[in-house]
Amino acid sequence: KSDKFRLTSSDYGDFSALLQRNRSTVLFVHGWLQNKLQFAEGAKRLAMAVAYRNYCVVDFEPLATVELRLFINQVSLRIATYLAGFVQSLAAIDIPPEQVTLVGEGVTAHLVGQTGQLLGGHLGSIIGLDPLGPFYTVGPAIQHTRYTLDPTDARFVQVWYSSIGQLGSPVPLGHQNIYVNGGLHPQPYCSCFTKVFGTTNLLTQLCSHYFVVDVFKATLDPSIDLLATKCPSYKHFLAGRCRIHPTTHVDGTEPGNFYLQTSSKPPYL
């Protein structure tokens, strides 16, 4: 109900003091090795302009720096279970899971999928930003499929891709799949890292992996509409054989594969 975030938890007594009843509610889950500020400014900007939604930032900073394999195997499901309980508790102020959107990136894109799976797929929507490929959809230590983001985790699952073949998943995981610059590594924005370190260096891979987060956060400016092209392939898109479809980061629910190209400077779109 204000432009400031207030600390709370699922055993809080009166959500009506914090959130508007019976409103769509968006929960932003920061990434592994990231902090609660990752989505905070964009969420506050959106909250000031779009007053008919509630916005929350999920903070698990103390757990965000554990080793990746430990986070995947033990910590992620604990957070997902807590988050599922939080979503269920919102029913006390007439916010059912169907009115809730969860946003996660990298590992936490799968974490919010786990949350949706625990809620029986009743979540309204999930937005996954470049879901991690290693351990989930590629590699020898692959996770059980129930831990991987998929279209059954919510009524609508939108997934963005920017580092396919490196840190990002090469497998389409959503009802709507948005490929930024083809979803391919290296992203044009990361050319400075590519020239110095090459394409296989971890810094270059991370640049491509996190670039999609910057593009998504640009769309948290209500004045920016995301324009993407629905196309059967990136090859068709580059050849100009598909017409442009306007869509937005939350409201565009047409299923299929969408492609967009960005500039290398903010706001990228």
Say how many Å lie between the first and final Cα of the chain, rounded: 30
Q: Where are the domains of the chain?
A: 20-260
**pLDDT per residue as tens digits for the range 159-186:** 999 999 899 999 999 999 999 999 999 9
Q: Which residues pair with 105 in a beta bridge?
A: 129
Would the pLDDT of 10 be above 80? no
DSSP assignment string, the chain: --SS-----TT-S-GGGTS-TT-EEEEEEPPTT--TTTTHHHHHHHHHH-TTEEEEEE--GGGTTS-HHHIIIIIHHHHHHHHHHHHHHGGGGT--GGGEEEEEETHHHHHHHHHHHHTTT--SEEEEES-B-BTTTBSTTPPPGGGS--GGGSSEEEEEES-BTTTB-SS--SSEEEEEGGGBSSPGGGHHHHHHH-SSSHHHHHHHHHHHHHHHHHTTSTT---EEEE-S-HHHHHTT-S-EEE--TTT----EEEEE---SSTT--
**pLDDT per residue as tens digits for the range 210-243:** 999 999 999 888 888 888 899 999 999 999 888 7
- Position 246 scores a pLDDT of 59
Beta carbons within 8 Å of 196's beta carbon, 6+ residues apart: none
**CA 90, CA 22: separation in Å to the nearest integer?**
9
Mean pLDDT of the chain: 90
* Other beta carbons less than 10 A from residue 253's beta carbon: 13
- Position 140 scores a pLDDT of 74
How would you classify the pairing of strands 256-260 and 227-230? antiparallel
Would the pLDDT of 250 be above 50? no
Which of left, alpha, beta for 135 (phi over 0: left; psi -120 to 50: alpha)? left
- Position 245 scores a pLDDT of 66
Residue type, 192: C
- Position 249 scores a pLDDT of 45
Model confidence at 18, in pLDDT bands (50, 70, 90)?
confident
Helix axis angle, 107-118 to 76-89, nearest 10°: 50
Would the pLDDT of 3 be above 80? no
Would the pLDDT of 248 be above 50? no
Q: Is omega for the bond preceding 186 within 30 degrees of 0, making it cis?
A: yes
Percentage, residues of the chain above pLDDT 70: 93
Q: Which CATH architecture has domain 20-260?
A: 3-Layer(aba) Sandwich (3.40)
Q: What is the mean pLDDT of residues 121-132?
A: 97
Model confidence at 247, in pLDDT bands (50, 70, 90)?
low
- Predicted TM-score (pTM) of the model is 0.93
Q: What is the mean pLDDT of residues 100-129?
A: 98
Residue 21 or residue 226, greater confidence: 21
